Amino acid sequence: MPPRSDIDFMQRALELAGEAEARGEVPVGAALVRDGTIIGEGYNRPIGAHDPTAHAEMEALRAAGRAQAGYRLTDTTLYVTLEPCLMCAAAIVHARVRRVVFGAWDPKAGAAGSTIDAFKLPSMNHRVDVFGGVLEKECGARLTRFFAVKRGT
């Protein structure tokens, strides 16, 4: 079996975004991978969890931390359908994630280059390789459809 690709893992993140959408949450999904295996995954659930920090990335980091019995998630790649916000970017750095791959850019709150690039702030003590635009159209379309329905447009 060939190794799984960024596209394969982003497709899993899109499936997780569908879980969020089915629960009335903004459809964002995330999967954290080490050595070709998903070690943590999550989807947006701040409404259902009554927790403003329950973003998909945070849920995936928490799940992986529990599964690995530690908060340092070195040598991992985080796949997320939407550019991380500032809160999530900081958590990714603190967890020592090696790489972030995201789908859609977030021009309102994205912290990987859209509004700020938190990953390049000189005060950060860990560097993360960031790559955006993987399955960008699919990730963006899911969000656009969700908000169109919410707004009745």
Which sequence positions are flagged as catalytic? 57
Closest CA to 103 of 152, 71, 64, 57: 57
Take residue 142 and report the two structure tokens written for it. Answer: 């899911």
d(CA 143, CA 128): 25
Amino acid at 110: G
What is the spatial distance between Cα 17 and Cα 97, in angstroms, rounded to a whole number? Answer: 21
Q: Is 32 helix (H, G, I), strand (E, B) or coil?
A: strand
